[in-house]
Structure 1
């Protein structure tokens, strides 16, 4: 974990966030095996899997394009509070009404699918632990988040200067040291401290990403990572501030971020990924100041 002054933090992340949905610029990459896994988990009620299976049917990814199946899986995910599934479902149904000569439905997604009450830390952990992994570089370790099938996002300072990069996924809510997956660098952005890894065969569940411009100060958030090499741990806090100027955006939080948690996920009260944890200010006079890179920026890499 980096120890830096507030001044350095303010110049640390240089990025540009637009209001364009992340899904418009970055699409999941599926294999036949991914579809089998998604279908099995979706049928067991996993919300994230229901969303991605709906996406596969809506866009003809591996499976044949099938709007009816897309609606089915989007609706199941939306009924469990998945905001992006609700948005996509509304788009399909609005298009169907227009094609049938009926007026488009202008009811907002928020009204059509009322937001669920904030979930407990225990529920959030159960919902997202399969999306978070431990990343080793041969000299040390950090955390990472599955953002697409077989693609992990982490911090570059987690994987820099390592002789090799391996990923351990979690099994039964614990980091499994026997589940070793070798990783290859997919994308490097040292300036923003964002590195993407290709991890063939990982089969983790991709996190559902929420757009930065929908986050509000004061929201309850949860940080999930592997501090000090321990098993996955969750800490709770709030969005303390959204730091944005003409070119820079990041999420400030008071959720505990410990060494080893860098690269882990910052999730909202519905289990959506809002950020990749990156730095914490460590000073005797400072307490509870950590920063995360907006997750939708990471998807656009």
Structure 2
């Protein structure tokens, strides 16, 4: 997940616009606010803690980009301990909601857990093809490299 500190008035304006939506637990607002901090607002450690808290809450509310982002966090061990099973669970849920990047990640995971299950392998390839149609970075290259 790309976390950063906002610069100046633009960040403050964004935080002000999001505030009422945060109060109502709007999933998209929680996700957006999880991605930035304001200068002098909080330490990096506090920022990361708040960011993860907002990201998890947005995911609990079923916001697909948050589910995907949390999957990435678990896949690489960013903000949380690396846990590929958790990552796979978040990717699967986001993919089921139609999130293209998650379709690619979940599609790549399916053949590994399929253990000879041709139907799961085919579902994985279908998801990767759908991600490629949606121009997900690396999906087309993956298909060409591992074409069956």
Give the alignment's TM-score, normalised by structure 2: 0.49
Q: Which has the higher strand share?
A: 1
Give the alignment's TM-score, normalised by structure 1: 0.26
Q: Which has the higher helix share?
A: 2
Report 1 or 2 for greater relative contact order, CA contacts < 8 Å, sequence distance ≥ 6: 1
Larger Rg: 1
